[in-house]
Chain A
């Protein structure tokens, strides 16, 4: 229980920072001061400044406005799509099931994020491409999870009773099946958000994600890379921020899993 609470707390802080970044950040994300480059922490710049003299703390705050929404949207679309397809596949056996599951097998024949990378190449770099590419690939996991759950729930007595009572599928599916199969995809969504934050920052680091000079955590690490020798601490704040966000969502996921297991 404490796990869930701490996790929700961490995530809430990130969300608040993202929403109120303009109020919380002492400087603008891109306000440069070329006379004060690569400075260490000081009262004016709590986490120092980067190579363009921008305030690191402010950029971290504004970064939350990029990484969190992109990761959440990129997870929400395939989660929704996959849950619906999994529901249909689990409920209507035969044709629908084999169509959905064969497609899923095919997608799984690719290494997921290499395919995302290839799609980003085709669609052009940027957050939009990453969201589209993830949606095309990631629904598979949700579809499989939900289908397996539906098959299990379908066999239970009260569902059989509802079906025997002549209740149509459009009533049974959302009312009786959906609430019972949501736990698994919900728990997975949390680790998926972690994966997406990592993937987004990785792609940005590789130069095919969010383009600089946008304040994004992966971009910040990429911008710090040339100064590893002279300012090794510069990669710490954005990296640790990503780790902290990841731990927050992981704890929410673990906490939810513990709660549903009981």
Chain B
């Protein structure tokens, strides 16, 4: 069991950031939501709901839910022109022919692709990384989804291009009233686009809450350590690394799964049950010692 007990909720017009180290199960969670688990991985339980109604991932793909991938180069079929690729997305809505072509140009323009009439006839390999990701976003939007899943969509891009794509996603969220789930290992990126955050560790959500609150006053030691790793300009402190490596899914530690790497761990952490408890309105933490954490962190930094 790589991922279990993860429950996420995202509203229209809102971006939820899903953060954690690589191997925490962020991408698997995302792929389970759209029914695209890699071979050898199965979903054994869980429930998906859309506007309150349960749905089957394979039925909803490309209608209510769209997805943007990490590597735009790998996610675009190299043998199809950009325009054809986006038109594929329109098929699931039954749109073909002339109307579809006009719609393709519209989508490309909405995704911020300059000169869309000409670009529609380009091959994916002729575009820059940023342009490719815009094409991928246009493909995901073709089905007019209400939910957009983004799997590290800026990780493979240059920093300046990253910022442009984040701006684009932000604009689309507002204009289209989209619900976005944004998976990343980069807290700085997610701080930029998401209103709420969920932090994952070893296949579980360990903390969630509004982005600004969670970044200013983390209620789980893991979040605190992630924050300490961030190279912020105004911070004089030395960068910290989290000692140790994330656990292997075949041998998760008992109790709180973070306790072997946690500097605040106490003896009762080794058999602490996993409960994501409400701490404040809109905030939750899985740390049984969350209440005392803030004081300890302040004492450390002074």
Direct contact of A and B (CB under 8 A): no
A residues near B (Cβ < 8 Å) are none
